[in-house]
Amino acid sequence: MKYADDDAVERACEKLSVAFANSIDRCDYDAVIDLFTTDGILDRWGSVIQGHAALRQWLDARPPDVTTRHVCSNIVVERSSPDEAWGTTYFTFYSATQTEGNDTLPLEGPTMVGEYHDHFVLTERGWRLGKRTVLPKFKRR
């Protein structure tokens, strides 16, 4: 079914997908948590993190000396009801350990290429991630 504001909803959900990548790379964990519903789920290869408190615990445990970049592309969002949408985003993930006094980190190629499969939910705060499933497709060994 087509809704009058589908394009606006698709754009809002696309922005959520990219905001996740940008916020986690900047270590802006409050922003990452705000992207999810209060009971939102992040499923990383079968390891399920649910709710804002669990997300905070997982984010705070990330190594502080590792720099990451999540590059997003091929974002597709389809609205399934007035308050739900589903999406897929391809991501390329880079990571490197920081070294003292070095602003430019070594690049050995991507650590992983995969997909985010998202369930978006309309809340009182606007569109949020109800569930994000991370599916690796290629991974450096």
For the chain, give the mean pLDDT: 94
DSSP notation for 98-121: --TT-SS----S-SEEEEEEEEEE
Contact 63, 95 (CB under 8 A): no
Q: Is 70 exceeded by the pLDDT of residue 139?
A: yes
Q: How far apart, in whole angstroms, are the C-alpha atoms of residue 24 and residue 59?
A: 8
Q: Which residues contact 41 (CB under 8 A, 6 or more apart)?
A: 48, 49, 50, 130, 131, 132
At residue 71 the predicted structure's pLDDT band, cuts being 50, 70 and 90, is very high
CATH number of 6-139: 3.10.450.50
Distances (CA, A) of 104 to 2, 96, 112, 113: 47, 10, 20, 22
Has residue 10 got a pLDDT over 80?
yes
| Report field, pTM of the whole predicted structure over 0.75 | yes
**Whose structure tokens read 């350990």?**
97
- What's the pLDDT score for residue 18? 97
In tens, the pLDDT along 16-34 reads 999 999 999 999 999 999 9
